[in-house]
Amino acid sequence: MTHFLVLSLAASTLLFGSVDEVRERLQRRDFLAALTIAERDLKATPSSAVLWTLKGFALDGLNRRAEALTALRTAHRLQPAFVPTLQALAQMEYASGDAGARSSLEQLLRLRPDLPEAHAMLGVLAFERNDCPAAAAYFAKG
């Protein structure tokens, strides 16, 4: 998964030093170091949705998809309206064929109805369940 959300996460938290450290490691593709730092800092601030999201990115970079999804779902439970987490969660669920993708994408569109990628993914999911009218409506918006 592309970690395009990492930069916006730094502006969304008071844990700038910690987040910057993890973000830097993710940008260098040093996923193990990013995971180590995120886990260390989560011991001190276990309710940080941002750190849980970054942990999910690091785990995904290490191809530990199931654990990455768990981390992103934890972040989403902690802060359901945090768009970067929801974007990452929806993208990962969609890419892995997870049943939660539809719900995550619908939640994402309630918060950000202007995301063409989310409309397109929901269009594909609607098409796959033979709901052509819904698919056409999503594709028209995407």
Contact 6, 26 (CB under 8 A): yes
pLDDT computed for residue 16 by the predictor: 52
Q: Which fold has domain 6-82?
A: 1.25.40
List of the chain residues with pLDDT < 50? 1-4, 6-14
pLDDT computed for residue 17 by the predictor: 65
Residue 97 falls in which region: left (phi positive, over 0), alpha (psi -120 to 50) or beta: left
Question: Whose CA is closest to 72, among 140, 139, 5?
Answer: 5
pLDDT tens digit sequence for 65-97: 999 999 999 999 999 999 999 999 999 999 999
Separation in Å, CA 74 to CA 45, 47, 68, 110, 136: 13, 9, 10, 20, 33
